[in-house]
Amino acid sequence: MYYNYKKFFSIVLMAVCDAKYTSTANLMQNTLPLPPPARISMESPQPLPHLFVGDAAFPLRTNLRTKRIFNYRLSRARRVIENSFGILTARWRILRTTIEYDPKNCEKVVLACIVLHNFIILNYHNRWYCPENYVDRQEPGNIVHCGEW
């Protein structure tokens, strides 16, 4: 938490999410139980490690790489985290504006929203919390429809 140029305290939230739009453990401490490297196709002789996609804000690590070949996949994968934040802020309106609490409690409020978001996504499968139109979807021919969150 820091005091920003607008004279407000700010929280910098860096998150990692999975394909279900749930946030996961800390990437920088390498605490995620990642699966071992695997072959991506029958033609590829060498197994590849599971990777995270990120931008220049992240240092290169064993499980975080940048290569030209990943540009398209990076774009697709980044839509997942954007959708995750979109769903989170659409459902937890307190995250859309200045949180009028003591700065010590703001982090707890944000973390509580994330925990509740994960719990609902993982336990309520009737899609009331995250309808299918909330997230980006891709049709044949690479036509992308943006989520309506």
Q: What is the pTM of this model?
A: 0.63
pLDDT of amino acid 28: 53
DSSP string, 29-56: TT-S-PPPPB-SSTT--S-B---B---T
What DSSP character marks residue 65?
-
Please name the helix (run of DSSP H) or strand (run of DSSP E) that holds residue 118, with its range, or none.
helix 103-123
Instruction: List C-alpha distances in Å: 45 to 48, 52, 66.
Output: 10, 22, 21
User: What are the residue ranges spanned by the domains of the chain?
Assistant: 2-34+70-145
Q: What is the pLDDT along the chain (149 residues), one digit of tens a residue?
A: 556 667 667 777 777 777 788 887 555 556 667 778 888 777 778 887 776 666 666 665 655 555 555 566 667 777 888 888 888 988 999 998 888 888 788 888 988 999 999 999 889 877 788 887 888 887 887 788 888 77
Task: List C-alpha distances in Å: 133 to 93, 147, 149.
Answer: 19, 6, 8
What angle (nearest 5°) sits at the alpha carbon of residue 119, between those of residues 84 and 28? 55
Which pLDDT score is estimated for 19? Answer: 75
